[in-house]
Homo-oligomer: A and B are copies of this chain.
Amino acid sequence: MDERVREHAETLVDWSARIEEGDDVVVTVDEGAHDLAVAVAEALGERGANQTTVYSSEEVQRAYLRAHDGEFDEDSIHELSLYENADSVLSLVGGRNTAATADVPGERTQRYDRARQDISEARLATDWVKTVHPTRALAQQAGMAYEEYADFVYDATLRDWESLAEEMGQLKEILDDGEEVRIVNEGTDLTMSIDGRTAVNSAASVAYDSHNLPSGEVFTAPYGTDGVITFDVPMTIRGRDVRDVRLTFEDGVVVDWEAGQGEAVVDEVIQTDEGSKRLGELGIGMNRGIDRPTGRILFDEKMAGTVHLALGRAYDANLPEGEGGNDSAVHVDLITDMTGESRLEVDGEVIQRDGVFRWEDGFEA
């Protein structure tokens, strides 16, 4: 086994999920993520945690969804109780074909997601962490050779997380103190309120309310969004390629949208429910191990020099204790590249220009 797989598993179990003896852990294993599942099992065994492995196959999912009449039972009790009784959920993303669910009608997937909202919430209530094991399908999606992609994944994942957490703390402080964020970029002039919201220093650990490995972003839950934004970083949503999505907001709600490619899936997402027309997240990428988009949101949104917004569900960690944020069955991220002529302002002050933060070398005020 590539020694980095073992290191990845240990980072996941120790730094990210903070697994301790006796923890009840669900490990969800995608097709192609087998080797990481073996390394994770070894790490969980060493720590004396209790593991159950779930098979998370998109081909199985596709077959089920296509065959079903679409009248899904809500939150079947066996699966719900598995997650309700779990301390942690470790999702090992892999996959052997990123288009594996491309012929599932989007409306079917929407209904399925809606019927499983309690299951989804039960998962999110655990110390969940999602990570990626390099597969050939993901390498292909990223336009990279397999070995090149594996290097990319481990560069992004096996970082000095403590020191990155410290740097990201600076941005968190600015956002926590701020009231309004403005994003200006080509085809973009958007303002949103963040007053009263708490930013998450997403340092790839549940100890930081951060649930992705790799991470390396600071995010909060905006509201009252107004203006226009263009997302120029290529995306794959539900197995379909999406390019140049342009959203227009009024009073926090999407009132107009178009896409250069993949508009049908954007329609589906936006029309899921009331919450899918509002933002659940504003995120700012800070992971310098991620140097290019790969069509995989878990990496792309963390890329240093990008900003992303998510339609749909907000994370509780960004909200005042006990307050509900934007609610939705979906959470779909879209990314804009800030390394061109752009600026990110908080309360009128430029905190990033052309992708460079104000505490970095080369920043022009």
A interface list, Cβ under 8 A from B: 22, 24, 26-27, 29, 31, 34, 37-39, 41-46, 48, 50-57, 59-61, 63-69, 71-73, 76-86
B residues in contact with A39, CB < 8 Å? 63
CB-based contact B41/A64 at 8 Å = yes
Contacts A34-B59, A37-B57, A38-B60 given; does A52 touch B79 at CB 8 Å: yes
- Since A24-B77, A38-B63, A52-B82 are in contact, a sample of 13 more A-B pairs with Cβ atoms closer than 8 Å, ordered by chain A residue number, is A27-B55, A34-B57, A34-B60, A37-B60, A41-B63, A45-B67, A48-B71, A53-B56, A53-B57, A54-B54, A78-B82, A81-B84, A81-B85
Contacts A34-B31, A37-B57, A68-B48 given; does A76 touch B42 at CB 8 Å: no
When C-beta atoms are compared, the residue in chain B nearest to A50 turns out to be B76
Number of copies: 2
Could you name 17 residue pairs across A and B whose Cβ atoms are closer than 8 Å? A24-B76, A29-B55, A34-B57, A37-B60, A41-B64, A42-B66, A45-B68, A46-B67, A48-B69, A50-B79, A51-B64, A52-B54, A53-B56, A53-B57, A54-B55, A78-B85, A81-B84
Contacts A34-B57, A45-B65 given; does A81 touch B81 at CB 8 Å: yes
B residues in contact with A37, CB < 8 Å? 55, 57, 60
Complexed CA–CA distance, A57 and B38 (Å)? 9
CB-based contact A63/B42 at 8 Å = yes
Q: Most B CB atoms within 10 A — which of A56, A84, A85?
A: A85
CB-based contact B45/A64 at 8 Å = yes
CB-based contact A42/B64 at 8 Å = yes
Contacts A24-B78, A66-B45 given; does A38 touch B53 at CB 8 Å: no
**Smallest CB separation, A96 vs chain B (Å):** 9
Complexed CA–CA distance, A77 and B38 (Å)? 22
Complexed CA–CA distance, A57 and B36 (Å)? 12
Which 4 A-B residue pairings sit nearest by Cβ, starting from the closest? A45-B67, A50-B76, A55-B55, A81-B81
CB-based contact A42/B55 at 8 Å = no
Contacts A52-B76, A76-B50, A78-B82 given; does A44 touch B64 at CB 8 Å: yes
Complexed CA–CA distance, A71 and B81 (Å)? 25
